[in-house]
Every structure is written in C-alpha cells, then in structure tokens.
Chains A and B, each alone.
Chain A
Amino acid sequence: MNRHLDDEQIAAAVAGDERSSDVGDHLGSCLECRQKVAALEELIRLRRRTLVADEPDWEAQREAVLGRLPQPQPVRGESSKSWLRPLMAAAAAMIVVAVVGLMMRPEQTEIASNGADIAVEEILAEVDELLADDSIPGFEVIDPGVEELEGYMSAGTS
C-alpha cells in the first residue's frame, strides 16, 4: 500500500478497530499517517488526564462502601423453618416409634388391660351401691309421675 490511509482508515485505527495487515504495514512505514493517528490519540489521552485529576480518595470511598454494606441478618422466616423442619420431623418420628413400641409390648398391655378391667368393675359396683341407697341426698327417685305433671298443666291454664 503506497498511497496514504484515508480518513476512514485513520478513524478505524484510532478507534482500535481491527486493522488490515496492509494498514498496519503502511502505518509502520509512513510517518505522516502514523502522526495523524498519534495526534488524535494524544488529544484523547490529554483529555483523559484532565478527567483523572478529579478522581476521589479511593481508600475513603472503599471505607464508605464497606460501612454501608448490610449487616448479616439473624436467620429467621422461611429459612429458619427449613432449618427446623428436619429436626421436627425426626422428633415426630421418634415419638411415633416410641408409642408404637409401647403398644406392641404384649405383657405390659395385658397387665394394663387387666388392671383397667378390675378398676372399672370396682367403680361400677360402688356406683350401684350408691344408687341403691335412697338415703343419700341427690340419689332420690325424682320421677314426679304422670299425675303430678297433669296437675302442673291444669294449674297453668287456670
């Protein structure tokens, strides 16, 4: 490539777009085109330097950011439920196993059953005795009889 680069090629070179090998070779050998590229690159670099002059104190900025970060929150809500769920399930399973285990022990069940039978019979016998004893207040025969009810009704209508 003997002729100079056109404006499009100069702009592409400044923009950092891929340069063809021809353009690269030309820039390597042509001072005039190289100066055109370098002039705009230098201008942009100077402008960037003016912007850099305004940069803040990076350490202070970092401290400010770290100071604004949210503190770690104690576990609560849904996450705590999910944490407790397996423990509660394990506890429930242990209770079921214990109850089933007690129910499946035949000797103790029989003893308990016999004991319960004896107790019920004794209680029923005592109740029968109490019911049979009219002298005890609260166990009187309270059926007033049909005649007495009819008396109440006629007195209400008179």
Chain B
Amino acid sequence: MPSRDPSESDGALVLRARNGDREAFSALVIRHQQRVWRVCRQYVGTDEADAAAQDTLVKAYTNLGSFDGRSAFTTWLTRIAINTSLDELRRRRREGLRVETCADEEEQDVLSEVADDMAGPLDRTIQRQAVDRLAVLERNLPERQREIFRLRFYAELELEEIAGALGVHVGTVKTQLHRAVHRLRAELGDAR
C-alpha cells in the first residue's frame, strides 16, 4: 500500500521516490493526479486527458532527479503537464489529426447530467443556457487569457502556481485573468 501519511511533505516523498521508493511516488500520484488531469484537460480535451496525465506522471518520475526544489513540486509538475499537453497538440496537428480542446465539447448537454435539486426545470434551463454561453464566450477569449482563466477556475490553480507553471510574473496572471473575467462578464449580458 502506498504511503498515505498526509503530514509527509512533497519534498520528503520526492526524496524517497528518487531513491526508487515506488510507494512514495504512488503517494505523490494520489496527491496530484486530479490536478494534473484537469490541467491536461484544458489543453487536449477529455478524450486525451487521461493519456496526457499518465504521460505527465511517468515523465515526472523519470525526471525526478532534475527537480531542484527551487519551485514547489506542484508547480514543477504542472509545468510538465502543460508541456506534455502542448507536445500532444503539436503532434496531432503535425499528423493532421483533429485537435479537440475542452471548449469543443460544449455542444453536448453536459449540464443536464449535473444534479442540482435546488433548481427547478426553468432555472435549470436558464443555467444550462448560461453555462453554454459561457463556454462559447470563453472559447473566443485571447489564447493567453483563456489559458489562464481555465487554469485558475477549472484546474483550480493558485495565481502563483499559474505564474510559475507558465513562467510569467504573477502580475501578468492577475492582469490577464482580470481582463478575461471582465470581458466574459460584459459579454454574458443577461446571463449574469
């Protein structure tokens, strides 16, 4: 069984994993796999997110020796997830495959699968329309704004983590996120 000691830091687990302790790495996977998958999903879409997340975690294991601890392990791992996802997108474009991103999947009625006992049929219809509208508008954001918006709200990364993973100043992240929210809110109009 993998180590499930929640008090053991990422750094301690990394040290053990570097020395070949697979249980320690398994504990790191349990701790971070959801975040990795959510990051990958923002870039490659649901169908490829699992494969990209697995590739990310295997790459992380084989490159643990290069983790110098200057950034948080989560930041380092997120950077690998982003690079792995972008590599996958480039490969698919190079091979002429369709690049399906997160936003392309919004044609399906995903909100109908969301249980919300508090909403009546009318409310749910309005909610569904609003969420669909958000998805469309989000797709039209400038690339960097869209990327940061998704990493912040869907992958649930902190602003500092996004800055570290993208290699930009945290002020840039704040500015881009602010512009994205402002633009979406303005364009959502009646949906808010």
Question: Does A61 sit at the interface, judged by CB under 8 A?
Answer: yes
Given contacts A15-B174, A56-B50, contact A65 B154 (CB under 8 A): no
Does A50 sit at the interface, judged by CB under 8 A?
Answer: yes
- How distant is B58 from chain A, measured CB to nearest CB, in Å? 5
Residue ID in chain A nearest B62 by CB atoms: A70
Q: Is A8 an interface residue (CB 8 A)?
A: yes
Contact A17 B131 (CB under 8 A): no
Docked pose: A69 CA to B49 CA in angstroms: 19
| A-side interface size class | 20 to 34
In this complex, the member of B34, B62, B113, B131 whose beta carbon has the largest number of chain A beta carbons within 10 angstroms is: B131
CA distance A65 to B33 in the complex (A): 10
Contact (Cβ within 8 A) A44 B50: no
Which one of A19-27, A35-43, A82-90, A120-128 contacts B?
A: A35-43
- Residues of B close to A54: CB separation below 8 A: 41, 46, 110
Roughly how many angstroms separate A150 CA and B1 CA in the complex, as a whole number? 102
Residue of A nearest to B182 (CB): A11
Q: Give A48 to B149 CA distance when docked, in angstroms.
A: 12
B135 CB–A CB distance under 8 Å: yes
Contacts of A43 in B (CB 8 A): 130-131, 134, 188, 191-192
Number of B residues, CB within 8 Å of A: 47
Output the nearest chain A residue to B23 by Cβ-Cβ distance. A66
A66→B33 CA distance, assembly (Å): 12
* Known contacts A7-B186, A11-B178: A53-B110 contact under CB 8 Å: yes
Tell me the complex Cα distance, A53–B49, Å: 14
Interface-side segment among B24-32, B65-73, B83-91:
B24-32
Interface residue A76 (Cβ < 8 Å from any Cβ of B): no
Known: A16-B159, A43-B192, A54-B46. A8 touches B182 (CB 8 A): yes
Contact A17 B174 (CB under 8 A): yes
Interface status of A3 (Cβ within 8 A of chain B): no
**In the bound complex, do residue A72 and residue B186 qualify as a contact, i.e. CB atoms below 8 Å apart?**
no
Q: With a CB–CB cut-off of 8 A, which chain B residues contact A70?
A: 61-62
Q: Which of B156-190 contact A (CB under 8 A)?
A: 156, 159, 174, 177-178, 180-182, 184-186, 188
Binding site for B on A (CB under 8 A): 7-8, 10-12, 14-17, 36, 39-40, 43-44, 46-51, 53-56, 58, 61-62, 64-66, 68-70, 72
| Residues of B bordering A, CB below 8 Å | 20, 22, 25-26, 29-30, 33-34, 37-38, 41, 46, 49-50, 53-54, 57-58, 61-62, 102, 110-111, 113-114, 127, 130-131, 134-135, 152-154, 156, 159, 174, 177-178, 180-182, 184-186, 188, 191-192
